[in-house]
Amino acid sequence: MTKDLEVNTSRFVKSADGTEIYADATGNRSPSTPVLVLVHGGFLCKGAFNPIFDDPKWTSNLFLVRYDARGHGRSGKPDTEEAWESKRFSEDFEAVCREFEVKEAYVLGWSVGAAVLADITAYTTPVKMLGFINVAGLIYVNPSVNSRVGSRMSREWGPPFLFPPSEDALQESCAYFLRICSEELSPELFRILLEGMLMQSRGIAKRVCSRKQNPEKMLQEARGGRIPLLAISGLKDKALITEKLKGELEDLGWKRMTYRYLQDADHMPWVSCAEEFREIVLAWIKELTP
């Protein structure tokens, strides 16, 4: 294990198709410490998890890995059909884990980032997934599911963001989206996420929720009890309809699912309910870790 993995140093990791993925890691690198890989939501960047990476109560209990998903933040933004195939997202995950010598991990997917589970499970990877944490997340990229669980605010926000009539309108829609995510973002975190959104072209943004996935292998693993799932939703979430998301997950027949509501949490519960969110996640991982 190289020394620089002990600190939060960012680096570019080359994925299988040559796309550069911007990643970093921090936390407790003891061999017995669980690893948690975090995948951010659509249109944003890995900076969304700054409150977790900056919290010693997280970093003392876990080794944390995160990255800008392709098409986001400082990662590469190829705009071809091949670059947005499901396999590419599995390869990105594998490349980041290889960089930080991660052989087994819990994975946390937030919002659209939760759809990465379908990508990872659809293809063979040497990284063993010990459990998945869905935080206010989509199950997989599917327009019909998205329309059922998405709130009125998120549906109304979409068109002006994807097809803005002017640069001012784009900036306004980005700021509005961040307010949908959370009204409790610090000025610094708001700025980081806003900059991340403005780095993404409209063509790439349109691909985020329109790429193709095959969820069959994920469903087989879920129904066979081979993927423990912790699903967390906030009852003050403005982006999703919490009850409908819970219903969608239940309808899949997930055999080992734990669902937790946070009364005062919004779409970013590690921001709006930091203590409660951390306790739930750490307790669940501790329960599953041998």
What is the domain extent for residue 238?
3-288
Residue 42 pLDDT > 90: yes
The band of 5, judged by pLDDT with boundaries at 50, 70 and 90, is very low
Residues 6 or more apart whose Cβ sits within 8 Å of residue 290:
none
For the chain, how many structural domains are there in total?
1
* Residues 169-211: tens digit of each pLDDT: 999 999 999 999 999 999 999 999 999 999 999 999 999 989 9
Banded model confidence at residue 239, pLDDT cuts 50, 70, 90? very high
pTM of the model: 0.95
User: How far apart, in Å, are the Cα atoms of 235 and each of 96, 112, 238, 241?
Assistant: 33, 18, 9, 9
pLDDT of residue 145: 77
Q: Find the helix packing angle between 187-198 and 167-181, rounded to 10°.
A: 130
| Secondary structure element (H or E) that encloses residue 109, with its range | strand 104-110
What's the pLDDT tens digit per position in 76-93?
999 999 999 999 999 999
Q: What pLDDT, on the 0 to 100 scale, is given for residue 77?
A: 98
The CATH number covering residue 262 comes to 3.40.50.1820
Q: What is the pLDDT of residues 121-160, one digit of tens each?
A: 999 899 999 999 999 998 888 877 777 888 999 889 999 9
pLDDT at 285 over 50: yes
